[in-house]
Structure 1
Amino acid sequence: MSSALEAARGRRSWSKVTEEAPTREELLPLVAAAGRVADHTRLMPWRLVELRGDDRLRLGEAIGRATGDGPSTKPLRAPLLIAIVSSPRPSGKVPEWEQEAVASGVAHTLSLLLDEAGWGVMWRTGGFVRSAAVAEAHGLTRREKLLGWLYVGGRPDRDREGFRAGVDPDRVLTRMPGA
């Protein structure tokens, strides 16, 4: 088992994947682990929508309605899409922006876990993510927001080309002014 540091250092986005995908049974323990992100008062202000097979065609049609173009083939780029939904809960303590951050944390943690398990993953968004047609296709309530999809599939037989270097921590880790 690798460490969290190794998983974070080795993570990359896979823009092209094969038609293999984790089964629901393989996905469930990863989702359970991803759900352990920091979550003030344990509201669980998120949910995931699993899209496979014809679900991806229906999403392509919804994207087409949202953009005014024909059906999009973008959802067919991976055999499994996992929609990340911010699903805020009423709370006097936890503002909605913090709840959305929790949903983002779940998505990122899940992408790390999928990557570590050997799957190719890319978090995709687009201008149509917050459109009514796409929200309706996912069965979102009025309060929920779609944050994008994790596109998941097998890794192609090639090196991890395009692997990007880490950030320079001295450029992004500063002290509070006046410290």
Structure 2
Amino acid sequence: MSALDAVRRRASWSRVTDDAPTREQLLPLVEAAGRVADHSSLRPWRLIELRGDDRLTLGAALAKADGDDKPSTKPMRAPLLLAVVASYRKSDKVPRWEQEAVASGVAHTLSLLLDEAGWGVIWRTGGLTRTKAVAEAHGLKKNEELLGWLYVGGKPDGKQPGRRKPVDADALLGAMPAASTKDDAPAKGDALKRASAPKKKKKKDRASKRGSR
């Protein structure tokens, strides 16, 4: 299967079975996902596996963040949750937003690889994702933020993933806007013509040409 085919067939699976990839099966996929564009190779990300009772811990943290006495059952929707963490590095060249983009790229690429390997995946977030209680449950450091979780499990037989509307590529692929055409600003075409035109030799002063009398 080509990369194009894998991307085109990817879809979110909101319901999965209790089957899940092992750590040994995950490692080569994580390694491959880490090949995303990464300015200065900072690797500003990490992943956390949540299996078994780890999901109960997350459910309790979500409830605490929401002021609810009853633990949330949302983390039990899949046998494996992969918490995506942006782990920011000190850098004079790579801003914080760019490092978060790298972590997001890893998560999306990993979801593609998992889907291609036969697993159902959905990336879940929510308003409680970056709360203090949830951060503490994951053991996040001061330089880290949670980007959500990849819920991973088996693809149910006879079930179909959630449908996505087709992308209007022509509408989303645009061109650079034209240069300003205000009265006090030269047109882009005129400026290019002037820049490429050969320079004219300056005329000598008429007085010096006639000589002194």
TM-score of Structure 1 vs Structure 2, range by shorter chain: over 0.9
Cα distance in 1, alignment partners of residues 18 and 112 from structure 2: 20
Q: RMSD across aligned C-alpha pairs, in angstroms?
A: 1.0
Counterpart code for 1:62: A
Corresponding residue of 1:40: 39
Counterpart code for 1:157: D
Please tell me whether Structure 1 or Structure 2 has the larger radius of gyration of its CA atoms: 2
TM-score, normalization by structure 1: 0.97
Q: Which has the higher contact order (CA 8 A, sep 6+)?
A: 1
Corresponding residue of 1:137: 137
Counterpart code for 1:150: L
Shift of 1:5: 0.6
TM-score, normalization by structure 2: 0.82
Cα distance in 1, alignment partners of residues 122 and 63 from structure 2: 21
Cα distance in 2, alignment partners of residues 145 and 113 from structure 1: 23
Cα distance in 2, alignment partners of residues 8 and 165 from structure 1: 14
Corresponding residue of 2:2: 3
- After TM superposition, what 4+ stretches of structure 1 lie above 4 angstroms from structure 2? none
Q: Deviations over 1:120-165 (max 9, x none)?
A: 0000001110000000000001120000000000001124253324
What is the percent sequence identity of the aligned residues? 71
Partner secondary structure for residue 85 of structure 2: strand
**Does the 8 Å contact 2:13/2:161 carry over to 1?**
no
Corresponding residue of 1:61: 60
The gaps in structure 1 that reach 5 residues or longer are none
Partner secondary structure for residue 51 of structure 1: strand
Corresponding residue of 1:124: 124
Cα distance in 1, alignment partners of residues 161 and 18 from structure 2: 20
Corresponding residue of 1:107: 107
Cα distance in 1, alignment partners of residues 142 and 9 from structure 2: 37
